[in-house]
Each structure stands twice: as C-alpha cells, then as structure tokens.
Chains A and B, each alone.
Chain A
C-alpha cells in the first residue's frame, strides 16, 4: 500500500509532468513514434495487401513474407539498428532504429487482415456487382473495400496496440518515449518511477485500443454495422458478404 501511495505521490508531482524528461514530453514522443510507425506500415502494407486480396492471389506468399517481421524479435532489430544507424533521427517520426523495429511489427497483422478481408468478400456479392455493370475499379472501391473495412481496421487496431506497447523498448537504444520511465527507473532502482511508467504505457495502449475501436465502428458501412452487432435481435437481412454467414 505504501508503494501505491508513493506512485500516487509521483503522479502528483508537477516536476514529473513538465520538462524534457516529463510525462507530457515522453507521452508526446511515444505517440509520435507509434503513430509514425503505424502510418508508415499502413502505407507499405495496405495497398499491396488489398490489391492481392482483390486479385485473390499470392495471399499466402504475402502473409508469410510479412510474418518475418513478427518472427524477428523487435529487440534484435533495435540492437542491430542501433549498431548501424546509431541515434539517427528522422523528421516527424523520431528514431530511425525504433521506426524499423515498430514497422516490422505492425506490417504482418495489417497484411493478413487486409488480404483476408478483401479476398473473402462473397462471390455472390462480386457477381452481383459485375452484373450491375461495375468495372474492376468500382468493384474494389465501392463493394470490396467497404465490406472489408471492419476487418482491415481490426488489423490496424492490432498493429497499433502492439506498436504502442512495444515502443517502450525503444528507450533501450536511447530514444525518448514512455519507456524512459521504465528503463531509467530500473537503472536507478527507482521502482516507483518504473511502475508509473508501466501504468502510463498500459493506459496509452488501452486508449489506443478504444479509440481505434471507435474509428473502426465509424468506418464500417451502416448496413454492415447492424449485421455485425453481436447483440440479440433480428439480424438485418440481405447482407451477404459480411463475416456472419447470411441466412438463406
């Protein structure tokens, strides 16, 4: 109990919030680094994954290649990156080394979800769209992508939460971010600071999860929302192609 009280005292100390080592600064750095990594990973992963899903080809190859990012430990990437690039900073997103490790972590769930989401759009739906005279591009943009959106966004959510949690270890290679409280706390045997840092990372991860869940909901087409709602009640009719098998 004394320990928790000390943690409370730590959070109440304004000196721990302001300045170049304060919570506000480290939170900003953490968000900047994580956000940058997720955006870069989305730019890299989503277009090819969606296109391959649309063509329904090479999915296994794409997923396996991107899964290398999951197989190589982030920490190993950090250590190698630190050796190669030192403390090199990129504009906007911060540490290059941290960026490499985090992008590698974010790409696999993005590729897997986006490919599956687009490739699994029901054949009947595609056929109907073509029957209505839609071209390839219209099929992708007006049918497949909206239907795929919930699953694509859930990949973004997974990637973002992993990145936010993992960005902590960037402090090992001298980068700022909430991990500083954990690394520095350990180095100075200041377990109050360490615990406070862990709490902050957990809070930020949950916030990320919640925010993106909200975004996922807002980006889901209205018709699908009803179909996906897990609560009881009559299922909206006639939404084939949604994740739930449509009642015949």
Chain B
C-alpha cells in the first residue's frame, strides 16, 4: 500500500477543490443567470396568453411531496408558497389559502366511488352519487383535518357529516357490500362516508379499511374481495393506462376512465367536486399582504417569493415547469 503517495495526491485534490469552491461561490451569481437562462430558454416557450412576470425571479426549495417538511416550512415562514394536496387537512387547520389554479394547470383528481359492476344496482349508485354531490373541497378538507390532525375516528367524522347533511335522506339500498379504502386519511374518510350512507339506506356493510395501496385494492376490487373503494379520477386513469395523460377537465378524465374500468369489471360513478390535486398554498398573511387569490396573482408580486415542493418539482409540469410555462413566472434556481 503506497499510503504516503496517495495521501499526497488526496491532499492536492482537496486543495484544488477548496480553491474551486471558493472561486465558484464568489462567481456563482453570474453563473446562476447564465445557467438557468440557458436551460429555460430551451424548454420554455411561454404561452401566447401567459402573463409575463415583471417581478423578480422566485426561488425554489426542494423539500417533500406535500409532507411534514413542506408544511413546517410554510408554518415557520421559511417558504412563502407550498405545493400541497388540496385535500390536506392542514390547509383548513392553519387557515392557509389554496390559490385557485385559474389556468387549469393541474389534472383533475376528484374523489369518485369505484363499484364492482356486479353489485352496482341503481339503488347503490343513487346513494353513492348523493354522497359525491355533497362533497365539496372545503368539507373534505375539514373532515380530513379532523382525522389526520385532531386524531378523530374517521367513522365518527363521516357519521357526523351524514347526519348534518341528512344523507342519504329517503334513499333505500339493499344487499351485502364490502367497502375498502387505501391507507391514508382522505381515502378512509370517503370510505366511511360510503359505508355509513349505505348502512343508513338499509344495506349490510362490511368495512375493510386501510386495505393497502392501489396496487393491492384494485386487484381486490376486480377479484370481488371488495365491492366499493373511493378513488381519484386522474390517478386511477394513469394507473389503468400508463400512457394516459389525464387532463384538467374531470368530465374528460371520467369519460376516458369508464371504459377502462368496465373492462376490469368495475364501474366509476359520478365524481365529487372535492379533489386531491396539487395545489399552491400560501398563509393567510401572505395572501392578505400580497392580495393573492389565484396562481395568476403571483405574477404581479414584486418581491421574490420562495416556493417549497418535492425535489422533482423543477422537472415537473404540475410544479415549476407549469408555473413558468403556463403562469409566466420565473424561477432562479
């Protein structure tokens, strides 16, 4: 082992690296502009109608996918804008403001019941449609917050909602049904809503909640182990057809979804207004101070804001790429 010579070499390498680091840092402001300018001009051709931002370039902080890190950063003021899921209970709990996606950047991912075709009687469909019709973004957020933040039981939260809204009303359903759900709060709450309403309508319901991820519960739905699961339109479409590019129009997505689902032996009913899409969220103070209601309003902001999102954000249409191309914002990476 020629330890001594390798040590000398390594020492030389670190010296060069440190030198380079020092130079690189002092010159990085110039490099910055050139690098991000170079990469964006290739990929970004702003829409005709896209507003051009006059304000300074925004910054991006790579954090997590709508997870605790992003939410803590927004809470602490480390970031100004967070990319979260619209159904995230934290939005309602913190009085945060979800900016309206007024240029329809995000694909439609609305709550929708998926029912095994064999058990999908008109009565069952009527009860589930009644639930979907009552599910707005706001009520879903509140229910999810009650479960994931306040630790309440999904069944209690769902039961309260059904009682308050007099659901399922006069509707009647019969049969033995098994309701499953995915392993997160949004799905569990929706499943409890379906199960509770069907029980109130007269059906016998077995619950298999927290059944697993989509790769587990869709095969169970196809095989008949489950009869009803809550789904999300866009994600389910992508799951059934990897090449599908779900649009931001929920009706289009559902139209594309239905034949694919029928081919597997289950039916996609009417989607709810409530959805679980990527949403740009700001604190109430930020919204007040800067007069923000829609994502477009960000283009008029004349200070540099910091966006926090998942690490893949700079490469993704739903995040930084869309903000630049559709909303005309600029980011200094």
CB neighbours (8 Å) of B75 from chain A are 86
Residues of B contacting A172 in the complex (Cβ-Cβ under 8 angstroms): 69
Size of the chain A interface, CB-CB below 8 angstroms: 40
Write out the residue numbers on chain B whose beta carbons fall within 8 Å of the beta carbon of A209. 10
> Judging by beta carbons under 8 Å apart, are A24 and B311 in contact?
no
- Complex: chain A residue closest to B25, CB-CB: A28
Among residues of A, the one whose C-beta sits closest to the C-beta of B10 is A210
Query: Bound state CA distance, A217 and B3, in angstroms?
Result: 12
Within 8 Å of chain A (Cβ to Cβ): is B263? no
Q: Taking A20-B333, A25-B24, A188-B312 as contacts, is the C-beta distance between A213 and B76 under 8 angstroms? A: no
The stretch of A68-76, A124-132, A146-154, A179-187 that contacts the partner chain: A179-187
Q: Which residues of B contact A64 (CB under 8 A)?
A: none
Give the B-binding residues of A (Cβ under 8 A): 15, 17-22, 24-25, 27-28, 31, 79, 82-83, 85-88, 171-174, 180, 183-184, 186-188, 203-204, 206-211, 213-214, 217
The reply to whether B28 and A25 contact each other, CB–CB distance below 8 Å, is yes
B240 within 8 A of A: no
CB contacts under 8 Å to A, within B1-28, are 3, 6-11, 13-14, 17-18, 20-25, 28
Is A211 touching B11 in the complex (CB atoms < 8 A)?
yes
CB distance from A93 to the nearest CB of B (A): 15
- Min C-beta distance of A156 to chain B, whole Å: 15
Q: Please, which residues of chain A bring their CB within 8 A of the CB of B31?
A: 18-19, 22
Binds A, one of B60-68, B132-140, B156-164, B242-250: B60-68
B69 touches A88 (CB 8 A): no
* Chain A residue at minimal CB-CB distance from B33: A19
Main SS at interface, chain B: helix
Q: Check if A19 sits within 8 Å of B21, measured CB to CB.
A: no
Q: How many chain-B residues does the 8 Å CB contact rule pick out?
A: 43
Residue in B10, B28, B63, B312 whose CB lies within 8 Å of A211: B10
Closest to B18 in A: A31
- Give 9 A-B contacts (CB < 8 Å), ordered by A residue: A20-B28, A25-B24, A86-B75, A87-B76, A171-B311, A183-B311, A184-B62, A203-B13, A207-B10
CA distance A173 to B73 in the complex (A): 10
- Given A24-B24, A184-B311: A211 touches B35 (CB 8 Å cut-off): no
Complexed CA–CA distance, A207 and B21 (Å):
14
Enumerate chain A residues within 8 angstroms of B332, measured Cβ to Cβ. 20
Contact of B311 with A31 in the complex, beta carbons under 8 Å: no
Closest A residue to B30 by beta carbon equals A18
Taking a contact as CB atoms under 8 Å apart, the answer to whether A171 and B62 are in contact is yes
In the docked arrangement, what's the CA distance between A87 and B63, Å? 10
Residues of A within 8 A of B10 (CB): 206-207, 209-211, 214
- Tell me if A19 and B61 are in contact (CB < 8 A): no
- Give every chain B residue within 8 A of A87 (Cβ-Cβ): 61, 73, 76, 78-79
Contact B333 A25 (CB under 8 A): no
